[in-house]
Structure 1
Amino acid sequence: MRWGILATGGIASAFASDLRELKDDAELVAVGSRSTAAARAFADRFDVPRAYGSWTALADDEDVDVVYIATPHSAHRVAAGLCLRAGRAVLCEKPLTVNAVEARELAELARGHGRFLMEAMWMYCSPVIRRLTSLVADGAIGEIRAVHADFGLAGPFEPSHRLRDPAQAGGAVLDLGVYPVSFAHLLLGEPDEVQAWGHLTPEGVDDATGMVLGYDSGAMAVLSCSLAADTARTAVVTGTTGRIEFPRGFFYPEQFVLHREGVDPEVFGPPAAPAGGRLQGLHGLQYEAMEVMRCLRAGETESPLVPVEGSLAVMRTLDTVRDRIGVRYPGEA
């Protein structure tokens, strides 16, 4: 399967590194950037045959089967749309877009052109997370009553940093909050009620937000994200007959612990994990690439692991959170 990468930042480099893990199935054949020099430097670093100084040139390369969109999320709609219109399958970094309106536009574009689209929610493709959902589905902890998760970075970030720039859809919610929100959605679905409180920077984006998602079933998710504090980055899923605890890095876990009354704690890790290894890869992004290629070879236009409708539901929740805390980006109604 022939891959292209659009953009050349840190996440693009991580993806290119992990794609090497799949050398028998995947080949990185092209990279595109707004800068010819940046594209050439990236191509030289990762032995990519073709480097383009424009997004359009990459999208128009008919030898590319699928493009990984690695831009900041403020550019996802434009970049992914360009590739879909040109006939490429698309794996787009998270969050899928800036808001639900943009996400719906991308989904409709993909469906209208019969093209594959998947949000790069690598957490959903992790073997450990898939083991979690299997255990929950089998009733290992009964009915889920609560999900707790957080993701925070210490900062500080300068006012000019993209994470504080409204024009680049900055703020904690879209960059970090998407992880705990997506984790809650994976286990409980779209909430029936959303409440949130946030602290805003002078630029008008959030640097700390707390969220409570409520469900008519009686379940709740208590979530937080921050650009001002290095939080534990842990998660706990509590059910009527037990709980599952994730250590630091719940969105890319090496293991989790199942606790049940009257039973010794059980530790679950990835299948056939190497001693001291992290999911058999450098970053764990190879699993989302594997899922994309599986889907494309099966003729599927979206992934059952990361369904488009699920990504749209997450965007609706993120929209509601931003509405509650008063964050608006340029051009939004």
Structure 2
Amino acid sequence: MAERSVRWGILATGGIAAAFAADLVDLPDARIVAVASRRPESAAAFAERFGAERAYGDWESLAADAEVDVVYVATPHSAHRAAAGVCLAAGRNVLCEKAFTLNAREAGELVALAKEHDRFLMEAMWMYCNPLIRRLKALVEDGAIGEVRTVQADFGLAGPFPAAHRLRDPALGGGALLDLGVYPVSFAQLLLGEPDGVAARSVLSPEGVDLQTGALLSWDGGALATLHCSIAGGTAVTASVTGSRGRIDVPSGFFHPDRFVLHRDGREPEEFAADPADGPRTSLRHEAVEVMRALRTGETESPLVPLEGTLAVMRTLDAIRDRAGVRYPGEADAAHASLART
């Protein structure tokens, strides 16, 4: 693999799959060789659009394709456990969209399966691979704003979304939290790790998914994170990190920023801008590049998106849903060990 293109399979053919495939096409060391959908005509159309050599009408055929080095799973998150599981069990490496799974139990099952088969597995948390977010994290870790005291982040879409929309469908893991709230939670935990306490409230739809959710995360060291997500109103989609000696403000689109501003006590604000060479702010290429780097060096997980970090985020999302009263079909009321946290 070190001397040839990495051969990708794409599982699912929706909008995020198309966006990812378009970025793969622009990478000289990546090649889309196969695509799968449960609708053969959709797979064939996607393959023609992006130059894939093979189109499959089922997941199992893609998973069994020995010429596929890694599969990008882009189904709704309600199907991530099944889709990624089929691929890992067949010996394929996997990049799986976020939210990684419906809950921490399913996430743990995928991690165990990857370890059993010695395969690479990574959540497609593109924010963690973004060069500017990596720069922000490094500044915080280097003490640029002192000890982190608070994190604030929000992500809301205006809607309204009809009852038939996937975001309102409990069977598809609908609601604001898993689709949008995963970003504020992941941003806070990127900087502070897994919280020691979780409080949350939601406004629920008639179907029982969260239309909007507010969460307060706390750490024993004294830090707090106030987070919000919504599919009932468009928010600023900004983030801010306040420390004992300053703060960092990230403007709209905090999870794929084009700039952020560092405010250090007693000094003029400093603006950090994205390098135009890194591509458009909406590019998913950075996570693809990280996957290919790891595959070429024989790693089974990425240091940028470590599996334990993904599991920790899923535990927090479970705890938020528990506090807010959001349950998906087939979940027991006390199914997740993480919910014991206060």
TM-score by length of 1: 0.97
Which of 16, 24, 28 is the equivalent residue of 2:21? 16
Alignment map for 1:95-174 (pairs within 5 Å): 95-174=99-178
Distance 1:206 1:296 in 2: 37
Distance 1:64 1:152 in 2: 36
| 1:63 equivalent in alignment to 2:73 | no
1:332 paired residue number: 331
Alpha-carbon offset, residue 49 of structure 1: 1.2
| 1:273 equivalent in alignment to 2:272 | no
Distance 1:262 1:126 in 2: 29
Counterpart of 2:301, as a letter, is E
**Stretches of 4+ aligned residues off by more than 3 angstroms:** none
Alignment map for 1:275-294 (pairs within 5 Å): 279-281=278-280, 283-294=282-293
CA contact 1:150–1:234 (8 Å) conserved in 2: yes
Q: Structure 2: any 5+ residue segments left out of the alignment?
A: 1-5, 333-342
Which of 5, 12, 28 is the equivalent residue of 1:7? 12
Number of corresponding residues: 327
Distance 1:215 1:243 in 2: 18
Alpha-carbon offset, residue 220 of structure 1: 0.4
- Tell me, what secondary structure is at the counterpart of 1:233? coil
Alignment map for 1:7-86 (pairs within 5 Å): 7-22=12-27, 24-86=28-90
Distance 1:266 1:86 in 2: 49
Alignment map for 1:145-224 (pairs within 5 Å): 145-224=149-228
What CA RMSD, in Å, does the superposition of the two structures yield over aligned residues?
0.9
- Tell me, what secondary structure is at the counterpart of 2:217? strand
- Tell me, what secondary structure is at the counterpart of 1:264? coil
CA contact 2:25–2:50 (8 Å) conserved in 1: no
Counterpart of 2:317, as a letter, is L
Distance 1:242 1:273 in 2: 27
Alpha-carbon offset, residue 262 of structure 1: 2.0
TM-score by length of 2: 0.94
- Tell me, what secondary structure is at the counterpart of 2:268? strand
Q: Structure 1: any 5+ residue segments left out of the alignment?
A: none
Distance 2:280 2:94 in 1: 22
Identical positions, percent:
67
Distance 2:139 2:177 in 1: 29
Alpha-carbon offset, residue 102 of structure 1: 0.4
Alpha-carbon offset, residue 215 of structure 1: 0.5
Distance 1:192 1:164 in 2: 30
Alpha-carbon offset, residue 269 of structure 1: 1.9
Distance 2:329 2:143 in 1: 45
